[in-house]
Structure 1
Amino acid sequence: MNHEEIKRYFEATPPPKEVQLTPWANITDTQVFLRSCYSTIKNFNGPVDRCPAWWHLRDFYILMKKTAQQAAVEKIEVTPFEEIPDETSSAGETAV
């Protein structure tokens, strides 16, 4: 994934305003952070994989994807499955 694809992702699904990227890095305005990363990557002379802003952007993208997946899993875990009252397992059935 390149920075343009990540940019399109964040345009489609904006991140929250504040995010704790690491225990020692708290982003207080994610839109400013993203604009800074995009600008730095665009103006970087050299391979993109050597650009520190690329790695910050990539780490932020991975964190946001994991957070979205965890939220989806938690939503599923909180919503219990409904039991169908007519279907009960009989004691006479054996597993094959």
Structure 2
Amino acid sequence: MVSDEEVAELGELLREAAEWELAEARWEQVLALVEVIESALAARDADTVRQAWSDLELSGPVRLTRVGTTATVPPPKKVRDTLNRLVHTLGNGGAPDGGTSHR
């Protein structure tokens, strides 16, 4: 499964994501990826966790913004709640179903 080090790194990414500012459509993508991660952790599917994690990293904000691009916003409540729930679960050393994430 996912190692303790990976759990710590994933938790850090999720905490960072809660502070991102993205276009609303991108938040929908982030929510979908976080839900995939949550489900994959519960199923102990490390490969899916790692793929969705990689995709989530690529979904973060870009450093340069072009003139005329869509306005960015902080995470909507549903995204923020999902991120917080998963960070809390990972911080307790467990998978979303209550089991340990790496055993």
What range describes the TM-score normalised by the shorter chain of this pair?
Answer: 0.3 to 0.5
Greater strand content: 1
The TM-score normalised by the length of structure 2 is: 0.37
Higher RCO, Cα 8 Å, sep 6+:
2
The TM-score normalised by the length of structure 1 is: 0.38
